[in-house]
Amino acid sequence: MVDEAPARIVPCPQCRKPVQWHPDNPWRPFCSERCKMLDLGDWANERHNIPGDPDDPDVPGPDEE
């Protein structure tokens, strides 16, 4: 049983800064609250576009030919 595994280092999804993946880091996988909020802002601005969004009228349905 391992109580103290070494902290993993992951790149912050927002700024690519190395972040310690640690239970004490409330913003993981982000480096800070700021980056977490920036990422949420990206989602709100639809920069993370999901192809085939059923709400998108430009996407043809399966019956459309």
Interface with Zn ion (CB under 5 A): 12, 14-15, 17, 31, 35
Give least dist CB 20 to Zn ion, A: 12
**Measured distance CA(49)–CA(55) in Å, rounded:** 12
Closer to Zn ion at the Cβ: 29 or 55? Answer: 29
User: β-strand 8-11 against 18-21: which pairing, if any?
Assistant: antiparallel
CB of 40 to Zn ion, least distance (A): 13
The first and second tokens of residue 62, run together, are 């399966």
Closer residue to Zn ion, CB minimum distance, 33 or 53 = 33
Secondary structure element (H or E) that encloses residue 20, with its range: strand 18-21
